[in-house]
Chains A and B, each alone.
Chain A
Amino acid sequence: MQSILGRTRAIALIAVPALALGLAGCSTGGASADPNTLTIASGQKSAVAPLIAAFEKANPGVTVKPTYVEDDAAYTEQLRTQLSAGTAPDVFKTWPGGGSTGGTWALAKDGLLASLDDEPWASDVPDALRNVSSWDGTLYSLPANGGGIGAIYNDQAVAAAGATIPTTWSEVLDFCATAKAAGKVAYVLGNKDSWTAQMIPYALTATLVYGPDPTFGDEQAAGTATFSDSKWKDALEKVDELKSAGCFNEGPNGTGFDQQMHMLGFGDALATVQVSQALPVDENVAPNTTFTLAPFPATDNAADTYVPVAAGVSFAINAKAKNAKLAKKFIDYVASPEGQTLFAKLSNSTSTLPADPGEPNAVLDPIIKAQADGHGTSYPDQAWPNTKVQEEYLISLQEFYNGDLTIPDFLKRLDDAYAAG
């Protein structure tokens, strides 16, 4: 029997490397070394793929090898692994600020991003987006497009129910009553995809917290303000009020984003509070239907309403990019007026840097107007110091919508997560 072990070992020792070497023929590396080949990782393929095609067309001889991962968690895990191993692509999608381990702050803090300070467009980055695209005063990501959070209304369904788009909080409650009387859902929630659950509180805190007090984030960082002692409490109380008024669909935690948008498209729901990038609703679902994006009010004075606006997709360059020159060329193209106009159109977003004049997407007017009027606030999570706050926020929201969590406990959890650094 001793010989069995010896042979087993021998077979294992020989077989595994042989198998590995035998199948290694089609191996590929990470970032590109060819001066005319650029590697890119991103999500939102429907918008980024045509952008890459336009870049290739504008730069004959250049080939871009893209990788698309739509799921944020899988994308982040893949990116972090590749960055650690030195095989990450030359250019990749990142998020503004510090809410995610794949966000600009977290990556720049770990020295994984190349500085963009010397790029010709660097001074054009709006002040509102500069902080979330920088770390320690150095610019590390290009906010490639912008979007915002508002209420999206199905125009035909609203008219059929005899309702009008509300501009004040009291009108929101009236809107719910009218929808209910017509047998429709006023504001459909899709909390099964937890990222969607945060929209209404974000929309409300823009008007109640971050608009009136633009330094709230800084005060939190300095330890002089907390979630519990802020008007976050009022915002969550208003969500409770919406729940009590029957504004939402049954079982919001069991409804996913797709179902949410289908209900809106089919007219089973009159509206939903979502990011502007959720438009247009799939034409297969809602043919011949028009939608209006409107600020979601939180007070009875329409002029007080603020809109959360933020960079959508940001692009950064790998600090160890194999082809840094071409990577900068791509980023410069996206930041150019031509690239800005094209990407805004492709992603149904607003441009963040000066763009070519063109026909603006009319549905996004409220976001553009809010920014122009100084009534835009950034998404709260982009200024949170760690990823724990967002994780806790999303978990707590589902419990809160389920009626299993009180507002003080909710806010205490957020404060604790924030304090964890």
Chain B
Amino acid sequence: MNIYTWRSGLREAGTVAVAILFLIPLFALVNMAIKPANSATTAFQIDPNVTFANFATAWTQGALGPALVNSFIVAIVTVAGSVVLSALASYPLARFTRRWSRWTYYLFIGGLLIPTQLGLLPLYTTMRDLGLLGSLASIILIGIGGQLPFSVFLYTTFMREMPQDYEEAALIDGCGPVRAFISVVFPLLKAVTGTVVILDAVGIWNDFFTPLLFLSGSGNATAPVAIYNFHGQFHTQWPLIFAALCITVLPILVLYFLLQKYIIRGFAGGLKG
């Protein structure tokens, strides 16, 4: 029996068409990055004078190397801090059914409703008083704090759906609660951890205003701030900006591909609650 019918062909064609549609922004991104500065073509037209020199120029002029190192440090420490703290905080919130745990959970979730701008000045003065202005520590701390509400929401709802049998077995076998969490519960959270890692990493990696404000005057810059230097009020070097974007998007793209199988599972688990 031939299971490949004209309907299958139509479905495949539809899938390919949608895939092409999704590739259009990527095409524009790369196409802009390989245009000469004087190109008269639009983002969707290919200039005959393709140049790859923009990548080298963007790398050197924009000091992308140190900026990427800073972005890596910030993203790795922030994501690690966010995962550790939110997973640990979510465990009792998911397992206790008392009133205080419900209200503590709501307190965490309430953080999602606070506009960033509202906390900006108090955070800034706090960092000033701690002597952290200009250091990566300031944006790492703010990043961890900013990511906690959503991460706690995902972990808690995921854990509530998780059966307690394994933990109980571990406790009967003599495990303490911390050992049970580290050895039994946390490995079972792989899917939601993947989601938290990718969402936090993308948010932190792309954040522009926090590093702009908190690193101002220190000589430190993260990738988005470094790219921004190609922008001028009356003259913007678009090919260099797009070349720099191509370079800086790669690490986060690789991370996404590595963790993509967890993302849907993590979301599904989180949203079920």
Q: Which residues of A contact B (CB under 8 A)?
A: 1, 3-5, 7-8, 11-12, 15-16, 19-30, 39, 41, 43-46, 65, 67-72, 74, 77-78, 81-82, 84-87, 89, 257-258, 262, 266, 277-278, 282, 284-285, 287
Contacts and interface: CB of A to CB of B under 8 A. Distances in A.
B217 A39 contact: yes
A22 B137 contact: yes
B28 to A, nearest CB: 14
Contacts of B220: 26
A7 B178 contact: yes
Contact of B232 (A21, A46, A86): A46
Closest 5 CB pairs of A and B: A28-B134, A23-B137, A27-B135, A284-B38, A284-B37
A27 B231 contact: no
B120 A81 contact: yes
A65 B218 CA distance: 9
B40 A78 contact: no
Contact of A23 (B84, B91, B136, B178): B136
A19 B135 contact: no
Contacts of B212: 69, 74, 78
Task: Say what secondary structure dominates the interface of chain A.
Answer: helix
B40 A266 contact: yes
B150 interface: no
B238 A4 contact: no
Interface stretch (B18-26, B122-130, B193-201): B122-130
Given A65-B217, A85-B121, A287-B38, A30 B133 contact: yes
B92 A1 contact: yes
B234 A278 contact: yes
19 contacts: A1-B95, A4-B178, A7-B178, A11-B84, A12-B88, A19-B144, A24-B130, A26-B218, A41-B216, A65-B217, A67-B217, A77-B213, A81-B124, A82-B124, A84-B125, A257-B234, A282-B38, A282-B235, A287-B38
A45 B232 contact: yes
A120 to B, nearest CB: 29
B85 interface: yes
Given A27-B132, A285-B38, A19 B232 contact: no
B106 to A, nearest CB: 16
Interface string B66-100: 00000000000100010011001101100110000
Given A8-B88, A19-B77, 10 more contacts: A20-B132, A22-B137, A27-B134, A28-B133, A30-B128, A41-B216, A45-B229, A82-B124, A282-B38, A282-B235
B127 to A, nearest CB: 9
Contacts of B138: 27
Interface string B29-50: 0000000111010000000000
Given A12-B85, A46-B232, A3 B177 contact: yes
Contacts of A287: 38
A87 B40 CA distance: 44
Given A43-B233, A44-B233, A70-B232, A27 B178 contact: no
A5 B176 CA distance: 13
Interface of B: 36-38, 40, 77, 81, 84-85, 88-89, 91-92, 95-96, 120-121, 124-125, 128, 130-138, 140-141, 144, 176-178, 181, 208-209, 212-213, 216-220, 228-229, 231-236, 238
Given A39-B217, A84-B121, A77 B92 contact: no
A28 B135 contact: yes
A30 B218 CA distance: 9
Nearest to B95: A1
Contact of B217 (A28, A44, A71): A28
Contacts of A77: 209, 213
B92 A15 contact: no
Contacts of A7: 88, 177-178
A3 B179 CA distance: 12
A15 B137 contact: no
A20 B139 CA distance: 10
B123 to A, nearest CB: 10
Contacts of A71: 228, 231, 233
A258 B238 contact: yes
A74 B229 CA distance: 13
B228 to A, nearest CB: 8
A44 B219 CA distance: 18
Contact of B92 (A4, A25, A278): A4
Contacts of B124: 81-82, 84-85, 87
A9 to B, nearest CB: 9
A92 to B, nearest CB: 11
A72 B232 CA distance: 11
B81 A15 contact: yes
Contact of B141 (A11, A19, A26, A69): A19
A1 B96 contact: yes
A25 B132 CA distance: 8
Contacts of A8: 88-89, 91-92
A266 B229 CA distance: 25
A24 B137 contact: yes
A214 B233 CA distance: 30
A255 to B, nearest CB: 11
A282 B216 CA distance: 29
Given A70-B232, A81-B213, A19 B178 contact: no
Contacts of B81: 15-16, 19
Nearest to A286: B38
Nearest to A279: B234
Contacts of A89: 217
B235 A28 contact: no
A284 B212 CA distance: 30
Contacts of A26: 134-136, 218, 220
Given A69-B212, A285-B38, A24 B132 contact: yes
A22 B138 CA distance: 11
Contacts of A277: 234
B236 A12 contact: no
Contacts of B40: 262, 266
Contact of B140 (A23, A39, A43): A23
A282 B234 CA distance: 9
A402 to B, nearest CB: 22
Contact of B216 (A27, A43, A67): A67
